[in-house]
Chain A
Amino acid sequence: DAGVTQSPTHLIKTRGQQVTLRCSPKSGHDTVSWYQQALGQGPQFIFQYYEEEERQRGNFPDRFSGHQFPNYSSELNVNALLLGDSALYLCASRYSGGSSYNEQFFGPGTRLTVL
């Protein structure tokens, strides 16, 4: 199992463009969360998907949207890119079942640079 995988590794866009980032969860995981990590900061929660629906959302504008597919993989879309959207975007997956706490596993991230 390769664990959580993300693509692409790096991405350069210009202001106003749109971007799509992709995430494949760890085998057996059904819940995917996205985090934004700006330089020098800890990860900030964007939103979470479970059963193909957005279940929770952090304090991010509607320009940030997502999707989860039947195979549990997920996409993060950002429209009308701003310079401030430059960050490392992390995907994390976990299994929602069972009675005990289930660890989240993180992917390597996608480094987005907006020029």
Chain B
Amino acid sequence: AQRVTQPEKLLSVFKGAPVELKCNYSYSGSPELFWYVQYSRQRLQLLLRHISRESIKGFTADLNKGETSFHLKKPFAQEEDSAMYYCALDRGSTLGRLYFGRGTQLTVWP
């Protein structure tokens, strides 16, 4: 079975500080991993996916298959980064069925 765990429900940092949102997964196959973000009063949207290896809004995430982790990082947090972040997994063989973690609410203080 597959499972996505986000251990932190809440995370607070000050502006300019580094931030890391943790995500661990369990799946025996080769999953695709994603980070979704939901800003206040907006809909859920894709932030980045591991296979694209992009940096979006200064965020990066590296898939560590040995540790089954996909942590989201940003070296210098900004106030506009405050949002709900969800880690999600797609087993890769399905038509886009996503398994989500419970989410981490990030607050960046001025």
Interfacial residues, chain A to chain B (CB-CB below 8 A): 3-4, 31, 33, 35, 40-45, 48, 50, 55-56, 58, 90, 92, 94, 96, 101-109
> Are the C-beta atoms of A42 and B95 separated by less than 8 Å?
no
- Chain A residue nearest to B94 (CB atoms) is A56
| A residues in contact with B44, CB < 8 Å | 43, 90, 106
User: What string of 1s and 0s marks CB contacts (under 8 Å) between B96-107 and chain A?
Assistant: 111111110000
Q: How far is the CA of A43 from the CA of B45 in the complex (A)?
A: 13
Interfacial residues, chain B to chain A (CB-CB below 8 A): 4, 6, 9, 32, 43-46, 49, 51, 86, 88, 94-103
| A residues in contact with B45, CB < 8 Å | 105-106
| A residues in contact with B46, CB < 8 Å | 103-104
- Chain B residue nearest to A104 (CB atoms) is B96
> Are the C-beta atoms of A101 and B51 separated by less than 8 Å?
yes
Known interface pairs A42-B6, A42-B101, A56-B95; 7 further A-B residue pairs with C-beta atoms within 8 A, sorted by A's residue number:
A31-B96, A35-B98, A40-B9, A42-B100, A45-B98, A90-B44, A101-B49
| B residues in contact with A109, CB < 8 Å | 43
> Are the C-beta atoms of A33 and B96 separated by less than 8 Å?
yes
> Are the C-beta atoms of B99 and A101 separated by less than 8 Å?
no
Q: How far is the CA of A107 from the CA of B42 in the complex (A)?
A: 10
